[in-house]
Amino acid sequence: MPAQYFRTLTGKDRTAEANKQLGFSLAFVAGATNAGGFLAVKQYTSHMSGVISAIADQTALGDLSLVLAGIGSLISFTFGAACSAVLVNWGGRRRMNSQYASPLLVEAILLLCFGLLGSHLALQEALFVPLTVVLLCFIMGLQNAMITKLSGAEIRTTHMTGIVTDIGIELGKLFYWNSENVDATAHFVLANRAKLKVHGTMLAMFFAGGVVGAMGFKHIGYASTIPLSAVLLVLAIVPLVDDLRLRR
């Protein structure tokens, strides 16, 4: 049944398969949000490596306004991750079914608000750009911390650096020639094909989300985040309803 599927996907009882499937969905959402956000404010918000490098560059160039903007993005991402950890730990201590779903609900609400109000806020450009960057960084931090805690730090969905690195490592193993002219006790180099498949799918979902997000923003505008909000709500709703039923 669909309800049982979503209960397995985002509920408190975790399996490796459910973690992977949820990771694929969230990678798509992150890719779409990141790409659409770039078209809105000309800045990527899903990873902090570039933000920290930009802070260093602008510090060297003496541009205080851009330094402060970068610090604001960094703080917002960190605060989003911290809020996600608070929600997950709070729900975990109370044995709630929605301990992992609650950050997704918050993310869905924030994306919905952005989709509904973005076109109006864009009229105030001086205020809109920094607020949008802060909001999207917060959302990405929120999502990344949730999937990190849920998977035991095995899955990341908002940035692909680690995933691409792991793909490269496994490809190196896959094409490695195990010569027989070595010590007989040497281990054969074997690629983890299952891991390669998971990371390849995660990368493909992030890319597909980026294409959809960019096309959506190009043709629809800020309202293109509303379907993303709906996806997150569908992922989160069953464990949340389960907790409401238990409270009653």
pTM: 0.91
Banded pLDDT at 24 (limits 50, 70, 90): very high
Is residue 180 scored above 80 in pLDDT? Answer: no
Q: pLDDT value at position 247? A: 81
Average pLDDT rounded to a whole number, residues 88-105: 93
Q: pLDDT value at position 118? A: 79
Q: pLDDT value at position 154? A: 83
Please tell me the distance from the alpha carbon of residue 123 to that of residue 108, in angstroms, as a whole number: 24
Identify the residue with better confidence: 233 or 123.
233
How far does CA 198 lie from the centroid of its chain?
16
Please tell me the distance from the alpha carbon of residue 206 to that of residue 31, in angstroms, as a whole number: 5
Banded pLDDT at 1 (limits 50, 70, 90): low
How far does CA 161 lie from the centroid of its chain?
13
Banded pLDDT at 120 (limits 50, 70, 90): confident
Q: pLDDT value at position 25? A: 95
Q: pLDDT value at position 185? A: 66
Q: pLDDT value at position 210? A: 95
Q: pLDDT value at position 191? A: 87
| Cα angle for residues 23, 71, 163 (degrees, 5° grid) | 25
Q: What is the DSSP string of the chain?
A: -HHHHHHHHHSSS--HHHHHHHHHHHHHHHHHHHHHHHHHHS---S-SHHHHHHHHHHHHHT-HHHHHHHHHHHHHHHHHHHHHHHHHHHHHHTT-TTTTHHHHHHHHHHHHHHHHHHHHHTTSHHHHHHHHHHHHHHHHHHHHHHHHHHTTSS---S--HHHHHHHHHHHHHHT----SSS-TTPPPP---HHHHHHHHHHHHHHHHHHHHHHHHHHHT-GGGHHHHHHHHHHHHHHHHHHHHHHH-
Is residue 123 scored above 80 in pLDDT? Answer: no
Q: Residue 24: which of 12, 9, 14, 36 has the closest Cα?
A: 9
Average pLDDT value over all residues in the chain: 89
Determine the straight-line distance between the first and last CA of the chain, rounded to whole angstroms. 23
Is residue 59 scored above 70 in pLDDT? Answer: yes
Is residue 241 scored above 70 in pLDDT? Answer: yes
Q: pLDDT value at position 147? A: 92
Is residue 134 scored above 80 in pLDDT? Answer: yes
Among 22-26, 55-59, 124-128, 223-227, where is mean pLDDT lowest?
Answer: 124-128
Contact 167, 198 (CB under 8 A): no
Is residue 184 scored above 70 in pLDDT? Answer: no
Average pLDDT rounded to a whole number, residues 67-86: 94
Q: Which CATH architecture has domain 15-239?
A: Up-down Bundle (1.20)
- Write down the residue that tokens 């940035």 correspond to: 159
Please tell me the distance from the alpha carbon of residue 42 to that of residue 133, in angstroms, as a whole number: 9
| pLDDT, tens only, 190-227 | 889 999 999 999 999 999 999 999 999 999 988 999 99
What CA–CA distances, in Å, run from 237 to 152, 182, 187?
Answer: 23, 56, 48
